[in-house]
């Protein structure tokens, strides 16, 4: 019994890499009255990426997208801030090369096999287009 407790505690205390999904999402820029693709992440990230993530209230894209019994209320997002100071201070899809450089230079690994598997899968996560899965090791 004591061995089981030791193994359980050791297993829970190990430092496993944290994985995240980056995707693009349509954003209604109400100030400029236009739609833009922004970069979002599924969880608050650890490491340097966490410093450029902001919780954002997403305005509805249309009056027909109101939440109801068949449509979940998905009006919050964890958006990445622009590295260039772009649209509303949010990172847009034209900054993807800058994002990849930032990720690689700050200890994140892009998991191409998981990204490929999920992009080919029948399972769709929200209406977001998967950009990539990343892993961060402390």
pLDDT digits (tens, 9 = 90+) for 12-40: 445 667 899 999 999 988 888 888 999 99
Residue 126, domain member (yes or no): yes
Quick one: DSSP state of residue 48?
G
Q: What is the pLDDT of residue 73?
A: 57
CA 126 to chain centre: 12
- pTM listed for this prediction: 0.79
Residue 12, domain member (yes or no): no
What is the average per-residue pLDDT within 122-137?
Answer: 85
Contact 38, 25 (CB under 8 A): yes
Residue 2, domain member (yes or no): no
Q: What is the pLDDT of residue 72?
A: 59
**Assigned token pair, 35:** 């739609």
CA dihedral angle for residue 116, residue 121, residue 126, residue 132, rounded to 10 degrees: -10
Residue 7, domain member (yes or no): no
- pLDDT tens digits, one per residue of 67-113: 666 655 567 899 999 998 755 799 999 999 999 999 999 999 999 99
Q: Is the pLDDT of residue 46 over 80?
A: yes
Give the number of domains in the chain: 1
Q: Is the pLDDT of residue 5 over 60?
A: no
**Assigned token pair, 120:** 């080919």
Residue 6, domain member (yes or no): no
Q: What is the pLDDT of residue 125?
A: 75
Q: What is the pLDDT of residue 116?
A: 92
Residue-range definition of the domain harbouring residue 29 = 17-136
């Amino acid at each position: 019994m004591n061995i089981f407790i030791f193994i359980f505690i050791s297993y829970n205390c190990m430092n496993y890499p944290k994985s995240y999904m980056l995707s693009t999402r349509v954003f209604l820029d109400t100030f400029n009255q236009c739609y833009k693709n922004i970069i979002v992440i599924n969880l608050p990230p650890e490491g340097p990426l966490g410093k450029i993530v902001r919780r954002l209230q997403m305005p509805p894209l249309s009056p027909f997208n109101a939440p109801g019994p068949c449509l979940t209320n998905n009006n919050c997002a964890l958006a990445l801030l622009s590295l260039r100071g772009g649209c509303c201070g949010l990172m847009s899809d034209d900054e993807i090369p800058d994002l990849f450089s930032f990720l690689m230079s700050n200890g994140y690994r892009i998991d191409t096999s998981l990204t490929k598997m999920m992009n080919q899968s029948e399972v769709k996560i929200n209406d977001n287009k998967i950009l990539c899965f990343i892993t961060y090791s402390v």
